[in-house]
């Protein structure tokens, strides 16, 4: 993908060449779609989010600096921001409180292997909103807490706190789900 | 990061996953519609172009100021502040002596006494210890030879110079007995003759410098005005993108410079100091083309070709004396005291000694072709970078128009065509620069380059004076990385 989106293609996009823009869209769509799926609490908005994200990418393409990062990463960041905005402003899911159980039950590696990608993603989205976003941004996409703080409009310390709680939540709930599935099978 | 988080990361990062039930068939059409509906964005002029425009505007503003100032100020003024009698010759008498049976009114010469029985002596109140100064009314019509009125005697030279308006005008009927002493004063004549010889030579020189009308005098004589300006330049490449740096950069810069010229002489150190004080640096202008090459990660080598046009202000007030010949002037009158009739008059040519104060204001111009060769170090902070460079410069003095004084305190001038050039045609200098650059994009950069340089101008053609030039310049421009 990195090689496919070359400078000439970007220049054509800047010249508002629709065929070039469609080519870029085709190349970026699978990844941005995955990103959106990970971040959106309600996936029914995914087309709206992707549409908004692609429009932003093409409108602001002149600000993209190829020396700093590949277009794929730049577009992913735009998509993440769009998702966060959707989660916050449009969907308006209230922040759930979560008091973690500080007894670390531990998670068996074997348990994880039994879960599909979709299951893992669904479990992620069951997290309270703040934890889910911080977990996604930090653990999977590698954003630093300072960056996350800017993106979410929170402090870096709160971002660290939420990540800590997200980790605990995940451990407890993955095992809980897995155990319940086993118990169900026994019946 | 525990194994749970690792598992998440492994599964989701940079993964293009197929998602069941995601219909993307009309997504592109929606995006294209949104893009079509977007208003055509005005191409934003980057801020850097505004900076370039501002630099150019400032440059033109200084050029305008400099030219305007020169047009208004540059002149050479020469005025006569006083004159005194020098000698009298070609004497002629007119009129008949009447009622003179004894022959008492026989002409006995200008320096001889004439019997006073029938004449009215009119004495002058003259302080013989002071050198008297006779001042003529100087008008465009000159001095009528038969008019007595313009003649007046002033005792105090300073008064004559400083306060002409308040001087007392003396009307006089002249008899031989009270002929003004200064006319027949031998010592004064000798002094005047010497001055005449000296000033003849000065006049020849002066006539080469500026046209002085003989008589009537005009108080201010303007000399040709000079126009000039543009000057030295330097350029330095600062490549901010180390990873993908293209080491060769071409730059175009222009800017302003401020100059200070100093003269040195072993034998005539006082005159050299005077010359340094009389010639003050002014704003000059530079432009040039430069090539720089990255040698290592943080160092660079530069070479270029600059045109450096600088101006200095020469201003000097010099006092001189020159002789002025008045033809057919009334020298003596004999009057019959009984009848009041004029018996005889004496006319002659009178040379008076004019005191001149000459004020010269001239903007000297020098144009250098400079080849700067420099080596420097730089440091980058994202798009900004700064550094320092040291180097030598080869200067070729291509054009010069100036006025100055020589070791004899005489005005000298050079208009570019004379053989006696005041400075060496080729000389060496040194420079230090502290560049500041902003990288607009991959290839273009804006640069500001403060520079201090020292140019050795060498000796003049008579090997009396050596000159050097300090130059402080600030140049701005753009660089293009090849």
Tell if the CB–CB gap between A121 and B28 is shorter than 8 Å.
no
* Chain A residues within 8 A of B25 when measuring between CB atoms: none
* Token duo for residue B215: 């008589």
Could you give the CA distance from residue B57 to residue A37 in angstroms, rounded to a whole number? 54
* Chain A residues within 8 A of B2 when measuring between CB atoms: 107, 167
Q: Check if the beta carbon of residue B441 is closer than 8 Å to that of residue B200.
A: no
Residue with structure tokens 């009528």?
B144
Query: Which of A117, A140, A141 comes nearest B17 by C-beta?
Result: A117
* Chain B residues within 8 A of A83 when measuring between CB atoms: none
User: Is it the case that residue A177 has pLDDT exceeding 60?
Assistant: no
| Dihedral of alpha carbons A37, A39, A42, A44, sign | negative
Q: Check if the beta carbon of residue B441 is closer than 8 Å to that of residue B431.
A: no
Q: Mutate which of B13, B19, B25 to disrupt the A interface (most A C-beta within 10 Å)? A: B19
Could you give the CA distance from residue B39 to residue B342 in angstroms, rounded to a whole number? 106
* Token duo for residue B89: 């010759």
Could you give the CA distance from residue A67 to residue A10 in angstroms, rounded to a whole number? 13
* Chain B residues within 8 A of A58 when measuring between CB atoms: 31, 35
Q: Check if the beta carbon of residue B287 is closer than 8 Å to that of residue B304.
A: no
3-class DSSP state of B186: helix
B436 closest CA partner among B367, B475, B384: B384
Could you give the CA distance from residue A72 to residue B16 in angstroms, rounded to a whole number? 12
User: Is it the case that residue A172 has pLDDT exceeding 60?
Assistant: yes
Q: Percentage of chain B with pLDDT > 90?
A: 6
Q: Mutate which of A29, A140, A165 to disrupt the B interface (most B C-beta within 10 Å)? A: A140
pLDDT given for residue B375 in this prediction: 92
Tell if the CB–CB gap between A47 and B7 is shorter than 8 Å.
no
* Token duo for residue A182: 């086993």
B286 closest CA partner among B314, B249, B252, B313: B252
Could you give the CA distance from residue B274 to residue A128 in angstroms, rounded to a whole number? 86
Could you give the CA distance from residue B217 to residue B211 in angstroms, rounded to a whole number? 11
Query: Which of A18, A47, A109 comes nearest B32 by C-beta?
Result: A18
Query: Which of A22, A33, A167 comes nearest B22 by C-beta?
Result: A33
pLDDT given for residue B419 in this prediction: 53
CA–CA min distance B15, chain A (Å): 6
Residue with structure tokens 């200064």?
B182
pLDDT given for residue B371 in this prediction: 93
User: Is it the case that residue B372 has pLDDT exceeding 90?
Assistant: yes
Query: Which of A25, A50, A59 comes nearest B38 by C-beta?
Result: A59
Which residues have a Cβ under 8 Å from the Cβ of B60 and sit 6 or more positions away? Answer: none
B323 closest CA partner among B345, B342, B350, B351: B351
Could you give the CA distance from residue B466 to residue B456 in angstroms, rounded to a whole number? 8
What residues of A are in the B interface, CB distance below 8 Å? 16, 18, 21-22, 25, 29-31, 33-34, 37-38, 46-47, 50-51, 54-55, 58-59, 67, 107, 109, 112, 117, 120-121, 124, 135, 139-142, 167, 170-171, 174
Tell if the CB–CB gap between B13 and A25 is shorter than 8 Å.
no
Could you give the CA distance from residue A169 to residue B49 in angstroms, rounded to a whole number? 54
Kindly write down the DSSP assignment for every residue of A115-130, as one continuous string. Answer: S-HHHHHHHHHTS-HH
Burial of B195 (0-12, 13-18, 19+ CB in 10 A): middle
Q: Tell me the pLDDT tens digit for each residue of B414-472.
A: 776 655 566 767 888 999 999 888 888 778 888 888 999 998 888 877 778 888 989 99
Query: Which of B12, B16, B241 comes nearest A30 by C-beta?
Result: B16
Rg (CA), chain B: 39
Tell if the CB–CB gap between B35 and A139 is shorter than 8 Å.
no
Looking at the DSSP bridge assignments, the partners of residue B257 are B284, B473
Size of interface A-B (CB pairs under 8 A): 90
Q: Check if the beta carbon of residue B424 is closer than 8 Å to that of residue B459.
A: yes
| Dihedral of alpha carbons A126, B24, A32, A153, sign | negative
Q: Tell me the pLDDT tens digit for each residue of A42-74.
A: 777 888 888 889 988 988 888 888 777 888 888
Q: Tell me the pLDDT tens digit for each residue of A99-144.
A: 444 444 444 555 566 677 777 777 777 777 678 888 888 888 888 8
Dihedral angle over CA of B267, B271, B272, B276, nearest 10: 170
Q: Could you count the other beta carbons within 10 Å of the beta carbon of residue B64?
A: 11
Could you give the CA distance from residue A100 to residue A107 in angstroms, rounded to a whole number? 15
Rg (CA), chain A: 19
Tell if the CB–CB gap between B442 and A141 is shorter than 8 Å.
no
Burial of B131 (0-12, 13-18, 19+ CB in 10 A): middle
Kindly state the helix (H) or strand (E) to which residue A28 belongs, with its residue range.
helix A18-39
Q: Tell me the pLDDT tens digit for each residue of B202-247.
A: 555 544 443 333 333 333 333 333 334 443 333 333 334 444 445 6
User: Mean pLDDT over all residues of chain A?
Assistant: 76
Query: Which of B8, B22, B243 comes nearest A140 by C-beta?
Result: B8
pLDDT given for residue B63 in this prediction: 63
Tell if the CB–CB gap between B35 and A120 is shorter than 8 Å.
no
Residue with structure tokens 């009057």?
B335
Instruction: Output the pTM of the full model.
Output: 0.40
* Chain B residues within 8 A of A109 when measuring between CB atoms: 3, 7
pLDDT tier, B189 (very low <50, low <70, confident <90, very high otherwise): low
Tell if the CB–CB gap between A139 and B30 is shorter than 8 Å.
no
Kindly write down the DSSP assignment for every residue of B237-299, as one continuous string. Answer: -----STT---EEEEEEEEEEEEEEEEE-SS-HHHHHHHHHHEEE-EEEEEEEEEEEEEETTE
User: Is it the case that residue B127 has pLDDT exceeding 70?
Assistant: no
Could you give the CA distance from residue B24 to residue B16 in angstroms, rounded to a whole number? 15
Q: Mutate which of B1, B2, B10, B12 to disrupt the A interface (most A C-beta within 10 Å)? A: B12
Looking at the DSSP bridge assignments, the partners of residue B415 are none
Q: What is the mean pLDDT of residues B153-168?
A: 40
pLDDT given for residue B159 in this prediction: 42
pLDDT given for residue B389 in this prediction: 93
Nearest residue in A to B6, CA atom: A139
Burial of A97 (0-12, 13-18, 19+ CB in 10 A): exposed
Tell if the CB–CB gap between A171 and B4 is shorter than 8 Å.
yes
CA–CA min distance A52, chain B (Å): 8
CA–CA min distance A167, chain B (Å): 8
Dihedrals phi, psi of B429, to nearest 5 degrees = -140, 175
3-class DSSP state of B341: coil
Q: Tell me the pLDDT tens digit for each residue of B98-126.
A: 444 444 444 333 333 333 333 333 333 33
pLDDT given for residue B15 in this prediction: 63
User: Mean pLDDT over all residues of chain B?
Assistant: 66
State ipTM.
Answer: 0.71
pLDDT tier, B325 (very low <50, low <70, confident <90, very high otherwise): confident
Tell if the CB–CB gap between B8 and A124 is shorter than 8 Å.
yes
């Amino acid at each position: 993908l990195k090689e496919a989106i070359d400078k000439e293609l970007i220049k054509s996009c800047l010249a508002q060449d629709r065929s070039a823009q469609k080519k870029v869209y085709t190349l970026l769509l699978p990844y941005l779609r995955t990103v959106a799926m990970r971040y959106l609490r309600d996936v029914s908005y995914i087309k709206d989010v992707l549409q908004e994200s692609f429009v932003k990418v093409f409108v602001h393409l002149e600000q993209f600096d190829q020396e700093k990062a590949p277009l794929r990463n730049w577009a992913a960041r735009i998509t993440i921001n769009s998702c966060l905005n959707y989660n916050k402003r449009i969907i308006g899911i209230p922040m759930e409180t979560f008091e973690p159980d500080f007894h670390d039950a531990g998670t068996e590696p074997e348990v994880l292997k039994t879960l599909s990608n979709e299951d893992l993603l669904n479990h992620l989205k069951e997290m309270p909103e703040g934890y889910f976003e911080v977990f996604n941004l930090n653990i999977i996409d590698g954003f630093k807490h300072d960056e996350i703080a800017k993106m979410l409009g929170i402090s870096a310390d709160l971002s660290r706190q939420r990540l800590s709680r997200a980790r605990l939540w995940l451990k407890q709930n993955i095992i809980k789900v897995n155990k319940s599935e086993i118990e169900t099978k026994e019946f | 990061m525990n194994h749970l988080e690792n598992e998440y990361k492994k599964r989701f990062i940079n993964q293009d996953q197929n998602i069941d039930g995601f219909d993307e068939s009309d997504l592109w059409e929606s995006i294209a519609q949104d893009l079509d509906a977007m208003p055509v964005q005005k191409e934003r002029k980057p801020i850097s172009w505004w900076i370039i425009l501002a630099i150019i505007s400032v440059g033109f503003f200084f050029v305008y100021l400099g030219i305007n100032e020169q047009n208004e100020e540059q002149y050479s003024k020469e005025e006569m502040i006083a004159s005194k009698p020098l000698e009298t010759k070609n004497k002629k008498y007119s009129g008949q002596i009447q009622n003179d049976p004894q022959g008492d009114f026989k002409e006995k010469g200008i320096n001889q006494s004439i019997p006073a029985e029938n004449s009215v002596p009119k004495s002058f109140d003259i302080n013989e210890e002071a050198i008297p100064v006779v001042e003529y009314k100087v008008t465009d019509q000159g001095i009528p030879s038969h008019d007595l009125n313009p003649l007046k005697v002033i005792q105090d030279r300073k008064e004559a110079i400083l306060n002409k308006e308040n001087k007392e005008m003396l009307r006089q009927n002249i008899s031989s007995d009270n002929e003004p002493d200064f006319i027949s004063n031998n010592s004064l004549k000798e002094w005047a003759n010497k001055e005449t010889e000296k000033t003849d030579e000065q006049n020849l020189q002066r006539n080469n410098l500026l046209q002085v009308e003989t008589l009537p005098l005009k108080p201010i004589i303007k000399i040709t005005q000079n126009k000039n300006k543009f000057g030295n330049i330097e350029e330095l490449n600062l490549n901010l993108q180390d990873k993908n740096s293209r080491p060769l950069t071409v730059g175009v810069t222009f800017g302003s410079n401020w100059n200070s010229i100093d003269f040195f002489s072993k034998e005539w150190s006082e005159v050299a100091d005077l010359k340094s004080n009389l010639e003050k640096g002014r704003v000059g202008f530079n432009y040039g083309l430069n090539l720089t090459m990255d040698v290592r990660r943080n160092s660079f080598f530069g070479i270029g070709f600059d045109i450096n046009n600088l101006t200095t202000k020469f201003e000097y007030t010099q006092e001189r004396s020159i002789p002025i010949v008045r033809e057919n002037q009334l020298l003596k009158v004999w009057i019959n005291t009984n009848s009041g009739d004029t018996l005889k008059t004496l006319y002659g040519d009178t040379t008076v000694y004019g005191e001149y104060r000459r004020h010269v204001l001239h903007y000297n111009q020098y144009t250098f072709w400079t080849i700067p060769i420099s080596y420097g170090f730089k440091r980058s902070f994202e798009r900004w970078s700064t550094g320092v460079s040291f180097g030598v410069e080869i200067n070729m003095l291509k054009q010069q128009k100036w006025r100055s004084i020589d070791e004899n305190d005489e005005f000298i001038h050079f208009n570019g065509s004379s053989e006696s050039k005041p400075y060496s045609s080729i000389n060496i200098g040194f420079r230090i620069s502290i560049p500041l650059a902003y990288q607009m994009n991959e290839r273009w950069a804006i640069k500001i380059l403060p520079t201090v340089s020292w140019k050795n101008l060498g000796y003049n053609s008579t090997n009396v004076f050596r000159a050097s030039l300090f130059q402080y310049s600030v140049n701005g421009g753009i660089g293009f990385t090849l």
